[in-house]
Amino acid sequence: MTQRAQQLNDIGRALEARFSTALPPRHNHRPLRFLRCDVPPVSVSELDSVIKKLPNTSPGPDCITARFVKSAFERHPLAFLAIVNHSLASSWIHSSWKLSKVTLVPKNPALGLQAENIRPIALTSILVKTIERVIFSRLQAFLSQHHILSDCQIGFRPQASIWFAHANLECCIRLALQKRQACAMVSLDIAKAFDSVEHSVLLALLPDLRIPAYIIAWITDLRIPAYIIAWITEFLTSRSFFCCDGSVRSECYPQSRGVPQGSVLSPLLFNLLMSTFPAAADVCTMIYADDVAFFTSGPTLEDVRIRLQDYLDRISSWSRRMSLHINAAKSSVLVFDSLPAAGMTLELLVNNVRLSQVACLKYLGLLYDPKLSWNPHIANQADKANRALGWALRCQHSRIGLRRSALLTIYKVYMRPILEFGCVIYSHLREYRVRSLLLLERQALRLCLGLPKTVPICVLYTEARITPLGARFRTLTVRTFLRLLCHPLMKNSAL
């Protein structure tokens, strides 16, 4: 065995420990009962729309590609349809479809391939992904129709984005600051959230949601139709994986915990688990997958502390029931400067561990500061954009050289998104507050066009045929808020 293969086996054994359930087997789980006639058959048109949307991503362990599936379906549509309908009606998944090829993505490239520095991305068979997409569309329609997911869950929801969370939080914080109330915000980190989902806990939730039985038998129970629960149950049962790095692979290891990151159903299954997250009428909570933040305000800082501590105690109790672990070391609290006493420390405990109080709190890429000035976030984005500009400068000075059009494309794709990130929230600021971002854009455009500093700004933008950054800020803000205000999730928001 080579040294590389030995390293992959070591990582595989570490992941096996992470993916091994810590709960005793549940012998009282009642089997799902449903008739084949209860399962709505998949039509040729439904399967055709699913297969057409298959992305050309990396294949799973069987090396079958999306292009092959599309080509085979064109020639033998009825054969594919029979396999899909049999899988749903019988809660059948071939054992080879439960094997995952795990690609090891380092969280921090500088630390290399270490077990604690690995984000395991599971590549599964494109055939089972096709059936997953059928289940996904039906399950998502059921959840939407019966309003099972909470309005505070904005991750993996149709037409939703992180700006739903930021707009709601910013509005609540701004109102509290205007009223001169004490207020604080907490961000929570759920350790290895997707990898820590206990199958028995998740499956026990499904019947209560009235999910169709055939889907649960394929997952397992939520008042969701029985066939859906049955399919999901089978999907999570007897799974295994192996680690892969290029042509080198490890041995196979069993997986009895966690939803595979990279599978079609995993985000929706995790949302079902998070739909049981505690809610409080006096606390604004936002959940994007496993990223949780909440805010509250009150007449005094002590009122805020009592309210937040009570909520944290409920969350801790919930996490124990769900067999999830709140990582207090990576969670934090931010106190906003609304009162003369706002500089006081706020002592909050999670599982008897005190949360660190920070000067800036990062949530979903945005830096919140005590005065809600957005200055730290703007400075951080300017620093990132400056590094991107240095990369573009190296491209411009390379031996080969790039055309104007190529350099402008690099700017639009690589640098401009950095400059624009967060503008939806702070586009109301005066121009001098975002001057560092505006200057970086002009510097980048001069570099792309090869123009000197003496060229007037209006000529610069005319030559580049690009809308000025300030105008882009306003356009993106209006577009985003129109989308927010029309979305069903925002009907009970603070906006």
Q: Count of domains in the chain?
A: 3
- In three-state secondary structure terms, 442 is helix
The reply to whether 348 and 249 lie within a common domain is no
Stretch 147-169: mean pLDDT, rounded? 89
The reply to whether 379 and 469 lie within a common domain is yes
Q: Which of 108-117, 274-283, 349-358, 438-447 has the lowest mean pLDDT?
A: 108-117
The reply to whether 283 and 387 lie within a common domain is no
Which of the listed residues 350, 368, 386 is the one where a domain comes to its end? 368
User: Using only C-alpha atoms, what is the Rg of the chain?
Assistant: 25
- pTM metric for this prediction: 0.87
Which of the listed residues 316, 340, 368 is the one where a domain comes to its end? 368
The reply to whether 311 and 169 lie within a common domain is yes
The reply to whether 11 and 38 lie within a common domain is yes
Give a yes or no: residue 58 inside a domain. yes
Give a yes or no: residue 481 inside a domain. yes
Model confidence pLDDT, tens digit, residues 362-389: 999 999 999 999 999 999 999 999 998 8
CA 426 to chain centre: 23
Domain that holds residue 424: 375-490
Q: Is the pLDDT of residue 445 over 90?
A: yes
Give a yes or no: residue 85 inside a domain. yes
Give a yes or no: residue 262 inside a domain. no
In our burial notation (b when 16+ CB lie closer than 10 A, e otherwise), range 383-395 reads: eebeebbeebeeb
Model confidence pLDDT, tens digit, residues 462-489: 999 999 999 999 999 999 999 888 877 7
The reply to whether 141 and 172 lie within a common domain is no
The reply to whether 302 and 404 lie within a common domain is no
Give a yes or no: residue 264 inside a domain. no
Give a yes or no: residue 406 inside a domain. yes
* Amino acid 220: pLDDT: 43
Model confidence pLDDT, tens digit, residues 259-273: 988 889 999 999 999
Q: Is the pLDDT of residue 392 over 80?
A: no
Stretch 385-403: mean pLDDT, rounded? 74
* Amino acid 187: pLDDT: 96
Burial of residue 31, with CB atoms counted within 10 A of its CB: 0-12 exposed, 13-18 middle, 19 or more buried: exposed
The reply to whether 170 and 297 lie within a common domain is yes
What DSSP letter does each residue of 91-155 carry, written as one string? T---GGGGEEEEEEEESSGGG-S-GGGEEEEEE--HHHHHHHHHHHHHHHHHHHHTT-S-TTB-T
The reply to whether 357 and 321 lie within a common domain is yes
The reply to whether 326 and 417 lie within a common domain is no
Give a yes or no: residue 138 inside a domain. yes
Model confidence pLDDT, tens digit, residues 183-235: 999 999 998 888 889 888 888 887 766 666 666 665 543 457 778 888 888 89
Q: Is the pLDDT of residue 400 over 60?
A: no
* Amino acid 469: pLDDT: 95
Stretch 307-317: mean pLDDT, rounded? 96
More confident residue, 345 or 284: 284
Give a yes or no: residue 201 inside a domain. no
More confident residue, 403 or 31: 403
Give 154's DSSP letter.
-
The reply to whether 353 and 431 lie within a common domain is no
The reply to whether 129 and 186 lie within a common domain is no
Which of the listed residues 321, 346, 368 is the one where a domain comes to its end? 368
Stretch 90-108: mean pLDDT, rounded? 89
Model confidence pLDDT, tens digit, residues 28-83: 445 556 667 778 899 999 999 999 999 988 899 999 999 999 999 999 999 999 99
What CATH code is carried by the domain that includes residue 305?
Answer: 3.30.70
pLDDT band at 87 (very low <50, low <70, confident <90, very high): very high
